[in-house]
Structure 1
Amino acid sequence: MIDPGIIDLCPTTEEEAAEIIRAHARAGTPLSIAGGNTRSGFGNAVTAEHRLRSTALSGIVAYNPGEMVLTARAGTPLAEIEAALADSGQTMAFEPMDHRPLMGTSGEPTIGGVFAANVSGPRRLISGAARDSLLGVRFVNGRGEAIKAGGRVMKNVTGLDLVKLMAGSHGTLGLITEVTFRVPPKPKSEATIVISGLNDAEAANAMATAMALPVEVSGAAHLPMTVAWSFLGNRLPEGEATVLRIEGLPASVTTRAEKLAAAMAAFGPVARLGEDDSAILWREVRDVKPYADGGPRPVWRVSVAPSVGHQLVAALRLETGVDAFYDWQGGLVWMRMEADAEAGLLRRFMHILGGGHATLMRAPAAMRAMTSAFEPQVDAVALLSARVKEKFDPVGIFSPGKMGGW
């Protein structure tokens, strides 16, 4: 997405990036940070005239499949990383989402952007978030200092807290220039069990039961009738669909899928998707297919306890127009509002149900200007965050409202 009036700065070396940051710090002028800019429109308004982009800091630095660790410069296209891993039968366990269809953007997602936004997909249930795979990072802070934290050895905890801190910082603490992360073997096979006809509460119970079984479910989502038709080209069984993924060696997948199907038959009619359809379905869940129209209606990403996701949606439906589906066993709720963002209502109900995090992913510019896109922090956390920000970016040049060009 091209932003009129914003000048892109694309350094080709870390030192060049550091000098750009030092110049802006001396002048006290704001600077937004981006990679492929595929999340443009995510977060609150940007006031910086200059945008520092990592796209020219590109290329795989080190990759030995036997070590299951890869190091790449931050601007390396995600597609390049995925191709190299596919050739070696490895993968990114956290299944990073492609935000372009949802956000209506173009460009190429970058590996630095994945970690800067801590992008995690359906397999987060068993593999953790993106930050849990991150072993090391290089970045330039708001003083223009190049800093290295962590390393290539999985047991190396040097700088671990700093590594975790940069993951999910959305470019507000510094420009990530290089990342090192774990790349486990890609599952050899997969299958998905589909339970039809469950309402949201019944689906939550079925998913909880499935996760407690010794069959290693790697994906658990519920697709209400309002969205189920949009998955797999409307080839899912009719009605609501509760979907459970099994991955691993082919023989193991077959055995575990049979056990899972037998257990789930107590909840409703059961069907099984083969490997190809299963892979397509989970990419569509990952990329929020029902709402990936680039349209103006507000879309929220809400993280709550799996047992209360459906309760939150039910409470909202009594007050306003909302559509939703569930990932992460019901703990990740994707919501599309009919008109207003309804931030106050959403966060009030969420607080009543035990808390969580609601992030406004998409909304018209005027609505984003009036809505806190990120979950407001309690006073103690806000104070700590301000102190961290001051240490990393003492002049405050990195636009705190941007949070999303990556």
Structure 2
Amino acid sequence: MTTFIPQGAAEVLEIVRWAAAEETPLEVLGHGSKRGIGRPAQTEHVLDLSRLSGVTLYEPEELVLSAKAGTPLAEIEALLAEHRQQLAFEPMDYGPLLGLEAGGGTIGGALTANLSGPRRIKAGAARDHVLGVHAVSGRGETFKSGGRVVKNVTGYDLSKGLAGSWGTLAVVTDVTFKVLPAAETEKTLAVTGLYDAEAAAAMAEAMGSSAEVSGAAHLPEGVVGRFLQGGFSGGARTVLRVEGVGPSVAYRIDLLSRLLKPHWAVEVIEEEESRLLWREIRDCRPFADGTEAPVWRVSIAPTEGHRMVDAFRRAAGANAFYDWQGGLVWLRMEAEPEAEVLRGLIAHFGGGHATLVRVAPAIRAAVPVFQPQPPALAALSARLKEQFDPKGILNPGRMVAA
């Protein structure tokens, strides 16, 4: 196996053209922080983009940042913090969950995996913030989509089309993202001791208020002790984050307290611990235990998440917590992943999708890791793959069996 490490976009084009001519598959990666997600690579060679690194344009007053695809997210976030700005979609760091060091993700990977964090309920995911890309298709052709202007809406937006493609359509070499001002401060209101169904009701009430909640999660009793570096104790917590300028945050936290306190016991988590807590929620830290025990990431209607988990627990041993007001469920299995059971229940409770984020390689090769698509959508995806990568050289088999 050969690892190609291009120094720039021109070398990426040359390598992909060679691979297309030879019909030789390539595993495309940045720093490999998400390499363990998806079916095992079915490739002879690796295209390593780690040296395509560096911010190429940053205009804080225009809220625009461009960088090469292999630029570490940690480097970009540090630069933005100097100017009190942020990537509002709060990209998750998968490294610790997959047994790797934190901080290994890249800006290109954030787009191709369509990353997001707890703020998705308010700000969306990576695809909602990308402005443009430069990329090389599996045909060995360069293309550009979008630009550096926030209001650019001309034509079909291929930048968004590449979000969530996991490197199977094109090799992204450069990206441009919209950035936003960072909040001056934040606080979190924690409601103590709720069952999952009660938590769903409390989160719905909070999200329907004028408090502008930017994070809503439920940490059941089985996992709550693993948050705040083990600092939580005394029962489940339902946590609601409020961000903004100091007086506004104080007012909205008080509003939430008055709304929920007549029903349940509440406490306020101050800024420093609040930031730590939401990083832990974002990165699924309770299940980052150094094992290969199966971990699922389930997207489902917020009103149905706790019902699905209750039914699933009757069929299989699992631990769970909830983000996105209950619409994102993290499940850690004790034994087999039980894919058919889980996906059957998701369909029963109104639909959604489940991704097997962590599992032993042998199981990854045998179980559909990504949610199987309905026939019409699968046919559309196949046609898209044919247009971008007709010889199937880019990450073949990662999302569906080749």
Shorter-chain TM-score range: over 0.9
CA distance in 2, matches of 1:380, 1:42: 25
| 2:312 is equivalent to residue 312 of structure 1 | no
Q: Deviation per CA, 1:182-207, whole angstroms, max 9, x where unpaired?
A: 11000001000000010000000000
1:235-291 C-alpha deviation (Å, 9 max, x unpaired): 235100000000000010000000011111133110000000100000000010110
Partner of 1:291: 287
| Partner Cα distance (1:356, 1:160) in 2 | 26
1:335-378 alpha-carbon deviations (Å, 9 max, x no partner) = 01110010000000110111101000000111111100000011
CA RMSD of superposed structures (Å): 1.2
Query: Alpha carbons of 1:248 and 1:364: their partners in 2 closer, same or farther (altered >3 Å)?
Result: same
* Alignment partner of 1:179 is 2:184: no
Unaligned runs of 5+ in 1: 1-5
Deviations 1:86-107 (A, max 9, x none): 1111000011111111001247
SS at match of 2:79: helix
Contact 2:39 2:369 in 1 (8 A): yes
Of the three residues 124, 128, 141, the one matched with 1:128 is 124
1:159 Cα offset (Å) = 4.5
C-alpha distance in 1 between matches for 2:12 and 2:371: 31
Distance in structure 2 (CA, Å) of the matches to 1:293 and 1:307: 29
- The amino acid that maps onto 2:129 is S
Matched position secondary structure for 1:318? helix
Task: Please tell me whether the aligned partners of residues 140 and 174 of structure 1 are also in contact (alpha carbons under 8 angstroms).
Answer: yes
- Distance (Å, rounded) in 2 between the aligned partners of 1:112 and 1:16: 17
Question: Equivalent residue for 1:137?
Answer: 133
Q: CA deviation at 1:403?
A: 5.2
Aligned letter for 1:40? R
Which residue does the alignment assign to 2:68? 73
Please point out which of 15, 23, 47 is paired with 1:52.
47
Distance 1:69 1:141 in 2: 25
2:185–2:243 CA contact under 8 A, matched in 1: yes
Going from structure 1 to structure 2, the CA distance change for 1:263 and 1:286 (only over 3 Å counts) comes to same
Give yes or no for the alignment of 1:28 onto 2:23.
Answer: yes
Contact 1:118 1:129 in 2 (8 A): yes
Larger RCO (CA within 8 A; separation ≥ 6):
1
Q: Is the 8 A contact 2:43 2:396 kept in 1?
A: no
**TM-score when normalising by structure 1:** 0.96
- Partners of 1:108 and 1:285 lie apart in 2 by 18
Q: Kindly indicate whether residue 397 of structure 2 is the aligned counterpart of residue 401 of structure 1.
A: yes
How many correspondences in the alignment?
A: 399
1:17 alignment partner, one of 12, 17, 21 = 12
Whether the 8 Å CA contact 2:25–2:396 is kept in 1: the answer is: no
Q: By how many angstroms is 1:7 displaced?
A: 3.0
Question: How far apart are the structure 2 equivalents of 1:170 and 1:308?
Answer: 28
CA displacement, residues 56-79 of structure 1 (integer Å, 9 cap, x when unaligned) = 111111101000010001011111
Name the aligned partner's letter for residue 78 of structure 1.
Answer: L
Which 4+ stretches in 1 moved above 2 angstroms? 105-108, 158-161, 233-237, 399-404
Q: Which runs of 5+ in 2 are unaligned?
A: none
Normalized against structure 2, the TM-score is what? Answer: 0.97
